């Protein structure tokens, strides 16, 4: 089971609470977020509030025992400070440091003064309220927390057997795996009471599979193929793990994101454009393939590039030159000052528009001539940059909203590489979320990069094998 039990005995701790009436202590006023920076007075009521708040940690995908263990059977003010601040830190900016988990993670994290916050909470006798205020309070976080609670409740039941691999199963077909399929659907709440031994793939089961496919971003055809089977075998144990990771990732993020921004979820290969606090556009993307993952960045969009040229990175020049001189000519590639350059045009790997981002990793958004990739369910196929569906339409939208539409049209009309600087930068966040809220439902994606495992292990969850990826022969584009 991937869900830890948090039912560790707490009796001795609760017994000593009565003895804490009037118990107080003071640490040295060193400031900062450390326990020594809290000049605290812990009453019995404040201690009860702390313990009650920590016992609700499983609501956040955290284990209460991790924070209660340090209090001990005879808690001192210093131990209570440490426990309160450790739990506060986990809620305020995550238990794990993403910069230690990922080679590149460049998104600001919240950094409240927790020592000062605890001091005020003790003075106002609101320790529990203060702790609960530190976690994200938006609807998405609440929905994921509810889903986590539901998944952990199901995970404590009998684990359904994995559905074995086999031929694709189409609606109306017969298959000896149908009892296992029905049990897997029931385990995650897609059907209420499946028949004990279904003989046919009936419409009610097909409808349940279609909902599963929608939740996992798969084609809603009801056909149980390899991709649907993988989603089907993500039972409540795996879902609880995924949701705990998702809650942690949300705690890493600032609580007040810019009202106008572009968010790209590279796990879901999808983009959302927010304008003045409203999601005004959503579209498919293509992100980096495993091994060339799109990093997690906050990187502003500062200009549009019409008819871009492409300077091919040295890391993939060999992939172009191995095809020979004829390939280079057909794709309008030539050498200039030691670099391989692809000329502007519809066959350029950046397509007809590039969305320039400010970062040190040569990561940006762009168009692509490989349009067929957007029709696939699995879209981790680039060399690390993000390809945008109907990129010209998206550029038109950005240019109109930013008041540079005429300038953009003139740049497009030249047919040459031309630059249109935006009057104000638009924040862009490249995120990786395998569970998220969309259309009022919690959606899931399989962990294409294996990054969930790094977060799960940092949360103290048991080890699970990482997904195995078969290298694919893709196009040359970034």
Q: What is the pLDDT of residues 161-206, one digit of tens each?
A: 899 999 999 999 999 999 999 999 999 999 987 667 888 999 999 9
Q: What is the DSSP string of 35-74?
A: GGG------HHHHHHHHHHHHTGGGGT--THHHHTTT-SS
pLDDT at position 263 = 98
For strands 386-388 and 365-366, give the pairing: parallel
Sign of CA dihedral 359, 138, 272, 471: positive
Band of residue 475 on the pLDDT scale cut at 50, 70, 90: confident
Distance CA 454, CA 361 (A): 22
CATH architecture of the domain 257-309+344-444 equals Beta Barrel (2.40)
Return the domain boundaries, the chain: 11-136, 160-234, 257-309+344-444
Per-residue pLDDT reduced to its tens digit, 16-54: 333 333 333 333 223 345 655 677 689 999 999 999 999
Whether 98 has a pLDDT exceeding 90, the answer reads yes
Beta pairing class for 418-426 and 278-288: unpaired
Residue with token string 């089977």: 229
Q: What top-level class would CATH report for the domain 160-234?
A: mainly alpha
Rounded CA separation 215/444 (Å) = 6
pLDDT in tens, 449-464: 999 999 999 999 988 8
Mean pLDDT over 131-140 rounds to 97
C-alpha triplet 437, 447, 192: angle, nearest 5°: 55
Predicted confidence (pLDDT) at residue 12 exceeds the cutoff of 60:
no
Three-state DSSP class for residue 250: helix
- Residue, of 157 and 53, whose pLDDT is higher: 53
Q: Report the C-alpha gap between 273 and 292 in whole angstroms.
A: 25
**Start-to-end Cα distance in the chain:** 40
Give tens-digit pLDDT for 300-352: 999 999 999 999 988 888 888 888 888 888 889 899 988 999 999 989 999 99
The DSSP call for residue 133 is H
Q: What is the rounded CA–CA span in Å between residue 460 and residue 18?
A: 32
Q: Which residues contact 334 (CB under 8 A, 6 or more apart)?
A: 328, 340, 341, 343
Q: Where are the beta strands (DSSP E) in 174-308?
A: 261-265, 270-275, 278-288, 296-298, 301-306
Sign of CA dihedral 318, 323, 326, 330: negative
Q: What is the mean pLDDT of the chain?
A: 90
């Amino acid at each position: 089971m991937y869900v830890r039990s948090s039912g560790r005995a707490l009796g001795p701790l609760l017994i000593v609470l009565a003895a804490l009436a009037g118990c107080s202590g003071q640490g040295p006023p060193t400031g900062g977020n450390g326990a020594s920076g809290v000049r605290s007075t812990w009453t019995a009521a404040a201690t009860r509030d702390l313990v009650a708040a920590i016992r609700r940690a499983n609501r956040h995908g955290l284990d209460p025992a991790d924070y209660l263990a340090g209090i001990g059977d005879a808690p001192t003010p210093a131990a209570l400070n440490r426990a309160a601040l450790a739990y506060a830190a986990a809620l305020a900016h995550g238990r794990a440091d993403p910069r230690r988990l990922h080679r590149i993670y460049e998104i600001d994290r919240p950094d409240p003064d927790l020592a000062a916050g605890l001091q005020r909470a003790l003075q106002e006798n609101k320790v529990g309220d203060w702790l609960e205020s530190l976690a994200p309070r938006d609807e998405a976080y609440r929905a994921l927390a509810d889903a986590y609670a539901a998944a952990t409740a199901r995970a404590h039941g009998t684990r359904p057997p994995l559905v074995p691999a086999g031929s694709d199963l189409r609606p109306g077909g017969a298959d000896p795996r149908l009892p296992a399929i029905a049990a897997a659907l029931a385990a995650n709440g897609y059907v209420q009471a499946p028949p004990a031994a279904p003989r046919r793939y009936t419409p009610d089961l097909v409808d349940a599979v279609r909902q599963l496919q929608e939740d996992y971003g798969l084609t809603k055809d009801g056909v149980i193929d390899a991709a649907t089977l993988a989603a089907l075998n993500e039972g409540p144990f795996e879902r609880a793990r995924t949701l705990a990771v998702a809650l942690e990732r949300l705690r890493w993020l600032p609580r007040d994101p810019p009202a106008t921004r572009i968010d790209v979820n590279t796990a879901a290969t999808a983009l959302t454009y927010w304008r003045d606090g409203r999601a005004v556009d959503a579209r498919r993307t293509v992100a980096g393939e495993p091994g060339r993952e799109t990093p997690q960045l906050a990187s502003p969009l500062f200009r549009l590039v019409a008819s871009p040229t492409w300077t091919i990175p040295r890391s993939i020049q060999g992939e172009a030159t191995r095809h020979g001189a004829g390939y280079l000519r057909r794709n309008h590639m030539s050498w200039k000052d030691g670099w391989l350059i692809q000329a502007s045009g519809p066959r350029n790997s950046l397509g007809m528009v590039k969305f320039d981002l400010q970062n040190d990793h040569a990561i940006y958004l762009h168009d692509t001539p490989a349009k067929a990739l957007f029709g696939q369910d699995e879209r981790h196929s680039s060399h690390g940059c993000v390809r945008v569906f109907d990129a010209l339409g998206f550029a038109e939208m950005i240019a109109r909203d930013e008041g540079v539409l005429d300038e953009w049209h003139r740049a497009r009309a030249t047919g040459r590489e031309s630059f249109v600087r935006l009057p104000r930068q638009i924040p862009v966040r490249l995120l990786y979320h395998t569970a998220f809220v969309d259309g009022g439902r919690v959606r899931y994606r399989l962990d294409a990069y294996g990054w969930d495992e790094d977060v799960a292990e940092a949360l103290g969850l048991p080890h699970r094998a990482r997904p195995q990826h078969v290298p694919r022969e893709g196009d040359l584009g970034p």
